[in-house]
Amino acid sequence: MADNYLEAYGKETSQDAGERTLKYFEDLFSMEMPLSRMMKMMPGMVKFMMSSKDTREDLFKFMPQMTPMIKQAVTGK
């Protein structure tokens, strides 16, 4: 086992660790809605839709807003 943190990181420099961390935060706070992210949201929305009648109605009301977003995500424009 490594004796201290410099050994634990081995040859990796702080730049490498910093780069990785920045990438992580960029992904975490990204506002973009690519297709992959939208697909990840689908199961949650289906679960919400199935939970009761009024949740389904509310979600259907949102559909007109969602269609252009899906379009944008699919075409990438």
Partner 1 sequence: MLEQVKDWDDDFYERWKPIAMGFVNEAERCLQCGKCTGQCPAAAVTPGYNPRKLIRDLVDGNIKRILSSVELWQCFFCSGCYSTCPMDINFPFFIFMLRLGAMNEGYGWEDVKQLEAYAEKDYLKDGITVSIRERNPFVVDTVGDIGKIREAAGLPTKRVVSKRGVAEINMISDLSGMTSFMKKIGGVDLLDCNTCDDAQARRCKTKPLPSKVGKITTKTRFYNYGEPSGGKTNAKT
Partner 2 sequence: MPRLDKVAQIPKPDKIFVFKSCVASNKYPGIEACSSDSLRILGIEPVDSDEQTCCGGFVTFANVAAPTASMPAVARNLSLAEEKGLDTCVVCNGCWTFLNEFGHFMNHNAEVKASVNMMLNMMGKEYKGTGSVYHIAEMYYRLKEELAENVKRPLKGIKVATHYGCHYLGGGKYTAIDDAQMPSYLEEIIEILGGEVVPYTANRECCGTGFTQVINGKDLSLEHTKTKLDSVKEADPDILVVQCPYCHSQLDRIQQQFNYRDEGDFQTPILHIAQLVGMGLGLDVAKLGFAAHVSGRARLENVLDRIGR
24 touches partner 2 (CB under 8 A):
no
| Cα separations in angstroms, 58 against 37, 40, 42 | 22, 20, 16
Picked from partner 2, partner 1, none, the partner binding residue 61 (CB below 5 to 8 A depending on kind) is partner 2
Tokens 């040859």 locate to 11
32 touches partner 1 (CB under 8 A):
no
Picked from partner 2, partner 1, none, the partner binding residue 73 (CB below 5 to 8 A depending on kind) is none
Please provide residue 12's backbone torsions phi and psi, each rounded to the nearest 5 degrees.
-65, 135
Whole-number Å distance between alpha carbons of 37 and 17: 25
Q: Is 13 strand, coil or helix? A: coil
63 touches partner 1 (CB under 8 A):
no
51 touches partner 1 (CB under 8 A):
yes
From the list 1-9, 15-23, 55-63, the region that binds partner 2 by CB under 8 A is: 55-63
